[in-house]
Structure formats: C-alpha cells, structure tokens
A and B are shown apart, each in its own frame.
Chain A
Amino acid sequence: MVSKMAPKTKPVDNSVNERRLRPIYDWLDNGNNKKALQEAEKVLKKQPNLQCAKVLKALAMVRLGKSEEAQAILKDVQLEEPCEDATLQAMAICYRETHRPELTCQIYEAAVKKDPLNEEFLSHLFMGYVRIGDYRKQQQTAMALFKVKPKNPYYFWAVMSILMQAYASDDSVCLTITLPLAERMIKKFVEEKKIEAEAEVQLYLMVLERQRKYDEALQVIQGPLAEKLASGIIETKKGEYLKQMKRWDQMMDYTEELLRSNPDQWSYYVHYAETLFEISSQDVTAFDRVKTFLFSLLEQERIKSENKLRGPYLAMLYFWQQLQQRNFDASAVFGNFREFAQEYVEIMGDKPCAFQDLKPFISSLPADQVTEFLDCVNQSVGLDDPSRQSPKTVKQICRHLLQLQLNRFLGQHDLLGKKEKTQLSRELWDHYLRTKFLNVGLLTTDIRPNDGYALLAAHLLLDTWNNDPDVLYKCLLLLETSLANSPANYHLKLLVTRVYTLAGHGRAAFQRYETLDIKYIQLDSLGHLLCRPLISMGLPYTASPLLSSTLRFYTTHARETSECLISAYKFGSFGKIPEFTQFCQRLDSSAHFASVTTERMLLDLLLDSSSHLKLVQTAGGMFADPDKDQPDWKTCVDNRDCGVFVSWDPPSKNLHDDIVKTTFNDEVKFARLRNRLVHALIATVALSPIWQIEVQETKNRTENLNNDQHPKDKCILPRLLQELEILLTELKSQSLMSHSQFSVQSPPPPRLYTYVENGSLEPILILMDIVSKGQCHAIGNDEIRQLDNALSRVVESAQPSVVSEGFWRNYVRLERVYNAVETLCLCVLVVSTIHAIIKNNNALSKKKKKKGETDNDDSFNRAKQFSTLVSCVASNMKKMEVLIDEFGVQVCISQMKLTESDIEKAEHAITDEISKNLSQSPVSEVKNLMVEKFKLLETCNL
C-alpha cells in the first residue's frame, strides 16, 4: 500500500497538491500502474516541478519494468535534496523495489542535514541503516534521535546497535571498548531508575552475556530488575549462567528444584546429566544422589493411574546410556536397562510416539538381551496368532506397530530372506486390510492409525527389490491404496514420491510431490528431494517452473527479513535481531540457492534458444557477471531437512551423518562447476557478432559507453575456461561416493558423480576453447577428432549396457542419458556461435574484396572444416536419438505385470492410476529437447 505513506500532517497550502496526487496513489494501490503513470504525467504538465509527482511517476515506471528511466528521474530529484515527507517515503519505496536500500539512507541523510531536529526523518534514517546493516551509523542516528526526543526506545536502539557491532567483529576492541560502552550506557539508566521495559533488561543481559559476565547477569535476574522479566526467562537464564560459571553444586540443587516442579521438561534432564558427570569426577556419591532423585520422580508416575508423564521413564534410559557412553558400569549403578525399556513399552506402547521416543536409546540395549526384550514386547501386543489375528483397537495397533518397528530396528528383519520378507509384508498388508474397520468416522485430514502397516510393508518390499519390477509395482500398489484411504499422510506421500523416483518415473514422482504442497521455507529445506533430481531424470521442462518459484523465494527473502528486523527494533525484541540477521545469512548462503540459481540459468540457455538470435537475447538478458554472480563457496550451508523420511532401519543401515555431509559437499562442488560453466557459455555467446548488435549496443546506450567492447570482456572466456579446467582436474583426482551407498531414504545421489565420470564437460570445453582462441575460421582436424572422441564417450556412457547398482539404478541411468543429451545440446549452442562468427568474418572479407574476384581456397577450407564439425555433432546426436528410442523400452518398468490376486485386492481406479503413471515415457522431454536443438544445428550452414 502506498497510500499509507501519505503524510500525517498536511500543511494547508499543500492541500491542492494533496488533491492532485491522491488519484496517483489510488491507481498505484490498485495495481494499475499504467493509469498511475498517465495521471502523474497529467499532474506534471500542470506543475512540472512537483517533486512528489515526479517520484510517483518513477514508482509507476519501476512497476512497469521501466527501471532505467525511473532511475534517471529519481537521480534528478535526489539532487534537489527533497525535504518533504511524502516525497521521501515514495522514493524509499522506489529504492526498496529496485533493491537499492543504500539510496534511501542517502536521501534521508540529506534531509536530516537540512532539518536536524526532525524526529520523523531521523527515525527513517535509522531504519534505513538497519536495512543495510550499518551498525555504527545506526548507533549515531539513534543517539541523535534520543537527543531530539529523550525516549527510552531510542536510547536502547543505540545500545543494541553497539551490541551488533560487537557481534559482527570479535576483536579485542569489542571487549575493551564497544561492549563496556554499551554496559555503561545501560547501567546509567539502571542507576537513574529509568528502566521501563522487559526488553531493556533483556538487552542488559545480552550485553553482559557477550562479555561473559555471568555473575553480574545472575545478580540482575535475582535483583529488583527481575520483576520486569517473564518467569520462564529467569528460569532458563539461571541454569545457563550457573553452568557457564561451572557452579555445579548450585546447578545440581537448582535442576532438581526445576525437575521437581516440571518432571517432563527434557532440557532439565540434559543439564542434570551434565552436572552429574562434572561433579562425579570429584564426588562419587553424586551417583547415589541422582539415582535416588530420579527414582523418586519415577515413583510418582508409577503410582498414578493415568496421564503418566513420559519424562521420568525416558530419563532412566537416558541416564543409563550416558553412563555407558562414559564407560561406567551402567547396570551396576542404575539397574537393568532392559527392564526400564520394557516398563516404557508397557506404559507408552499404545501411543504412536513410542518408537520415536525409544529410538535414541534402544541401541544401548546389550546384545545378549535383545531376544528377551523383544519377547516381552511381542507379548505386550496381546495377539495370540499374529499371522491370522489382527488388532481390535487403535491402541492395540500402536502396540503391534511398535513391536514390528522395534524388531526391524533391532536387526530382526536383516535375518530374513527374500521369501520371508515378502511373506511378512503380505501379512502386514493383511493386517492393514483387516484393521480398516477402525478407521470409520475419521476425517479425511486425520491420519489412519493402520497406515503404519502399509509403510512397513513397503519398506520390507523395498528391501527385496533388487531391480525386480514386480516388487516396485506391488510397493506402489499398496502405497497408492493406503494413500487413497489416508490422503493426509505425508509419510506415504514422501515414500510414494521416492518409489516413483527410484522407478525412474520423474513425472509421476512430481505429481505426488506436488500434493505435499511444499512452499516458502520448505522450498529450501525440502527442495532437494525433487528439484534438481527432476533435471537428472530428464525433465527439464517440468523442472523449470519449480526452479523459478524456488528462486523467487530466495530473492525476495532479504527484503522481507529486513522489514522484520525493523519491527524487532520497534517492538524491542532485541534478542531476535542477531537471530534474524543470521537467519538471513543462512538463506543467502544456502547451497540449494546456489544450485538452483545456476541450473535456472543453464535451463534458460537450453530451453530458450530456438535460434542463434534467441540464444543471444537469452544470454544477454541475464546481465551475467562471472565475478559477482557466485557465492562464497566455502561458506555455503546445508539447509536440507534430511530427517524427513521415517525409517525403522537398524542404525548400521540408517542414514549416516557421513552421507549427509558428503552429499552436501558434492552438491556444492557440482553447483560451483556448473556456475563456472554457465558463465563460460555466456562469455562464449558474448563473442558472437550478433551480441554486438543485440546486447552490447543497448548496454552502451544505457551506460553511455563508447562502442568499444570492455577490454575486460575479451579475457573473460579464457579465464573461465582455465577455472573450469582446474576444477575438473581437482574433481577427477578425488574419490567419489558409489551409488550403491545410497538408500531409499537417503538424499538423492549428487549429479557430480556421473557428470565427471562420463566426461560430460569435455566436448563443450573443446568447442569453447576454439572460440576463446579465436580459431573459428581455422578449426583443425585435431580438434574435430578430439571433439568426436569426447562426444562418443559421452554418448557411450548413456548406453544401457553401462550398469548401475543399488536402489538408484534407474535414476542414475536416466541421469547418464540426460548428461549426454544436455552436453550435445550445449555443444549446439556453441556451434551456433562459431557459425555466427565465421559468417560475419566471411561477409567482412567479401566486402573488402573487389568485385569479380573469386573466393580463395581459404574460405572454402574454412567452410569445409566447419561443416565437418557440424556433422560430427549431428552424427553423435543421431546416435543419441537411437539410443533414447531404445531406452524408452529398456528401462521402463511399465511392462510390470500384476498378478491376478493383486488386482483382486486393489481397487481398479488405483491400478489404472499407477498404470497411467508408468506408461508416461520417461524420455519424452529429452527427445523434445534434442529435436529442438537439432533444428538449430541445421541452421548452421555456410
């Protein structure tokens, strides 16, 4: 809303202006920018010097995509140093929308200079500095504000700005000057009894904590200022300070006090354990004390008849595990782990959380007690003959599922052969069907209690998959069936998405993925599940909009977060200020962001290049800057939520931290390689004569440069090619993960592996090198031979005879095909650039020659060499086309046959749906892409 910024105080003589401007504001608010622009022009005809009208005109232009003209207007107004609120605010909006927040600071600086006592201007200036994160100037401005209007918030804005300087740099100046200054400022207010708000006390604590002055901080929360604080804060802070000061004895008393009043707060147990181990190194009697205390809490629950708390029960397992991990004889100190675990199962086994609760601890169960434990768990279910009998109540389902999950987690399923696993999964499916009657009356948004059977049955089937299409089909069948009954169950949706992915059916995977309704922050945390993988599976057209919406999230967040920072200052939530700043950095440095940005550009080049002219326009429209358009690769962070898949696999098979770390590192490496690739490609296209006409000239016009190319531009390509070579050599020398290490629940294998292994980059490098060295009209036989070899290798690697292993084999095969297709298509783009260069040179040399003279051998040779190059690319593309056609039949699991009994049990709608999904050709998009680029290649003749 723009109208909100209309001035609150209206000088009388301005009322005419007000009335004239009103319609412009209205049009802008309604999103009708064209009308707003016309209206502004009308007003300016009457009053050419009305600053605000000029700015509103600029704003309308910004919103109509005419940024450059708008900038010119704004520059002029800025020179006039406006001093009127509405104008300034409208300018600030323009700057915000064009991502130039620093200019907002400039205009308010000028306004403040003219009117130094204007509170409004000063506070806008302060917020302007918050947006660009200039803490020192924030501090000065806040103090200036306080002098104009001695209000507490202004004073504490200044203190917070000082603290932010200390957060930003950890040097000694902070400790000796910056932080003590902040502390003094607050103390002054404390002494003068001017502290008003909770926020101010919190800020005091933050300043003390940063200096590690925990003793003083403790005094604050125990002194008179504490009454301003919420009780929860005092509680947690006290524990934190005692811990920091290593006052373990006090800490012990204190955590016991807390636990007594709240025996279900897990963080207290964690502190309690830490305290125990600190104290016990000097005083072994601590063990007895803790044991007695924990047992007293447990006893309280034991005597309750209902609403028992989980905390005291799990605490026993936790402390036992902690002792064991520190090489104490846990059984001697605490008693029998198995019995504690059994007691927990007895009491909480009928809740769906039981497995998740036990998961962190149960692997501590001594190996020789596993059988006994499981026997007891099995008995707790109360089914005499589980192969024929099914649970009769929801609670019994929970117990039964817990039993099955624990059996799997404790390795019992690993002992089964394929036949037994299939048999067991069949049994689970029967349980699923037999317990359906318990779902009656549930809302569609409720998750069905028996869904767990379907998930577990699917996991068991996947264990036995080993590339047997029937198994995948059965798995899809039961997942799709249970999903139809339980449309809210996202575990089912995630798994079914994954199974389609493993089957090599990206489009079906995408359809299921969409039902998860992943948006905003989830695009960052969950995007890795399918965003880049869609490209690997040969679905560039499907991936394209997903990449765009992801990118939109990343590019808008910074502006949004800075507005929230401002709110945090306004509401005095000082603790949130460093948190928001870090959050913003975390999003900016997201590896997924880096990857999506680059892949988006590559896809644009690939998909938006039906002719050489179009290619140039697309590449030119990116305004690429190879130096600025890359993140600091070393500080990229992993924002993926890799724990989103449930799994009951034993810890030995479970997602290791290793695989999370390695895949992250490798995704970053891949993003970096691709980033350099896309910039090299753009730099190649930039050498086309068409670029001179289409891109450079407009650029020159707007930037008022003369017609010479930047000297910088010419050396960009060789430099980028060199960077690529270095990266590639480095990657080739590293050992990469094997695809067989990836499980059903693991993050998708990085594309890096096949990309490097197949030599996907080499042919493009050879071609770009020709352009880079200015040898387009002297293409040697050697280069052509090299290119042919490199391309053949890429095509070879996509052959079905190249075996892939493990769960991801179909996926990896599709990826190899896509690698080859993409390489061929990118080669066509470079070839079209070479073609444009040769053609232009020919035309130039023709002009120079006198009429009547014939072309010499040179140019004939040139044409011949080029056409050999073209046929080399063309013949490899043909080979690839044949391969793709064969591929369609080879990898598809659409020939999977259903057995009669399967069909009987399943609903027809579901089998139809699956068959439909599986009949979609997984290679139609890559075929399409090849046809497109082949057309472009055909235009490259001399």
Chain B
Amino acid sequence: MTTLRPFTCDDMFRFNFVNLDPLTETYGLTFYLQYMAHWPEYFQLTEAPGGEIMGYIMGKAEGHGTNWHGHVTALSVAPDYRRLGLAAKLMSGLEEISEKKQAYFVDLFVRVSNTVAINMYKNLGYIIYRTVLEYYSGSPDEDAYDMRKSLSRDVDKLSVVPLTHPVRPEDIE
C-alpha cells in the first residue's frame, strides 16, 4: 500500500532512505529540477502511510522517428520496501505514459554488475539490447547494459533486435 504521486521539490529534503543507497546517485539540483520542468509526469514517487518516501522513478521521452522512446533515468526503492512490487509498479506507470506518447519502446542503462536490477528488468519484459563499454566512470570504469522493451506502436518489434557488438558511450544517441 502506497501513495503514488508526482515528485515535488520538497521531497528532496526527505528522500534519504532511498538515496543513501550506494547504487542510487544523488544529483545536483538542476538535474532534478530540469526533469520536473520538462517531464513532470515521468517523475513519480511512492510514499508509505507513515509518510516515508519508499521509492521513485525518473524518466523522460526523447528521440526522433522510430527512435522516439521513453527512458528510465533513475529507479530506486528504499531497502526496507523492496520486493513489494513497487519498482514494477513504477515501471508500468512509466510504460503507460510512454504508450500514451506513442513511443516505440522504453529503454534504460544499468551497471552490468547490478544483477538484481537486470533480473528485475528481465522479469518485466526487457531484453539486453546492447552493451555500452565503460559507460559508468569510476575506478575501474564499468560497462552498462542498454535494456529495452518494445511498446505497442513498434508492431514488428524492430526496436528490440539485440546488437551483436558493444558500442562506446560516444556512439549512443
């Protein structure tokens, strides 16, 4: 049981149970604010009865022609609220909006080491579309999987034919 609602600025003062997690990046203010300004409907949050923030999703719609797609920029659920289906719920919300916007597919990047998330996305119908080499900087740099799920507009599922060769970050549009 959760309250699903749009993310607001004030939530940033209280999202620590989600953001102190090492896989969840805390970005500069502009980053969140630009998403709220540009794609407010893609930035949703779930709240517990006690008022704690349980998790949120942040995304956008971008691309031209058949590349018009929804993108998951961040998805995170506080450790105490995992395995309740919250991430799945947030993802289906994002897919629904992308359907309405007549996108061809939804995609996201995930660390190749983050098997929990990768399995979750697989369970939600996503496939590994390609590998992006050294997408995450750090020591050492880490590769990312670009994962995708096609939407109803992509009738022939052309967007989810996996690439056989990895790409470099500068090659992704």
Contact = CB atoms under 8 A, between A and B. Distances in A.
Contact of B17 (A493, A576, A644): A644
Given A353-B81, A571-B37, A266 B3 contact: yes
A447 B36 CA distance: 30
Contact of A521 (B3, B13, B52): B13
B29 to A, nearest CB: 5
A576 B115 CA distance: 36
Contact of B84 (A266, A351, A571): A351
A841 interface: no
Given A267-B3, A267-B5, A357-B49, A563 B30 contact: yes
A352 B27 CA distance: 27
Interface size range of chain A in the complex: 35 or more
Contact of A307 (B10, B34, B85): B85
Contact of A571 (B4, B22, B38, B48): B38
A266 B38 contact: no
A86 B172 CA distance: 32
B9 interface: yes
A205 to B, nearest CB: 14
Given A360-B50, A520-B29, A560-B33, A266 B13 contact: no
Nearest to A494: B20
B64 interface: no
Nearest to A521: B12
B20 to A, nearest CB: 4
A561 B33 contact: yes
Chain A contact residues: helix, strand, loop or mixed: helix
Interface in A302-348: 307, 309-312, 314-315, 318
A266 B2 contact: yes
A639 interface: yes
Nearest to A354: B80
B154 interface: no
Interface string A501-535: 00000000000000011111110111000000000
Interface in A780-824: none
A558 to B, nearest CB: 10
Given A309-B1, A443-B116, A579 B23 contact: no
Nearest to B46: A266
A517 B79 contact: no
B20 A490 contact: yes
B49 A443 contact: no
Contacts of A520: 26-29
A305 to B, nearest CB: 16
A352 B79 contact: yes
Interface in A350-378: 351-353, 356-357, 359-360
A564 interface: yes
B82 A352 contact: yes
B49 A360 contact: yes
Contacts of A725: none
A718 interface: no
A488 interface: yes
Given A564-B34, A583-B10, A644 B16 contact: yes
Contacts of A469: none
A252 B17 CA distance: 34
Given A357-B49, A521-B13, A564-B34, 18 more contacts: A230-B41, A230-B97, A232-B41, A353-B48, A353-B80, A359-B50, A443-B116, A445-B22, A446-B116, A488-B22, A493-B20, A517-B22, A557-B29, A567-B33, A570-B37, A573-B38, A586-B9, A643-B52
15 contacts: A230-B100, A265-B2, A266-B1, A357-B50, A443-B115, A445-B114, A520-B29, A522-B19, A560-B28, A561-B29, A573-B36, A576-B36, A576-B40, A579-B8, A580-B9
Interface of B: 1-5, 8-10, 12-14, 16-17, 19-23, 26-30, 33-34, 36-38, 40-41, 47-50, 52, 54, 79-85, 97, 100, 113-116
Interface of A: 230, 232, 236, 264-267, 269, 307, 309-312, 314-315, 318, 351-353, 356-357, 359-360, 443, 445-447, 487-490, 493, 516-522, 524-526, 557, 560-561, 563-565, 567-568, 570-571, 573, 575-576, 579-580, 582-583, 586, 639, 641, 643-644
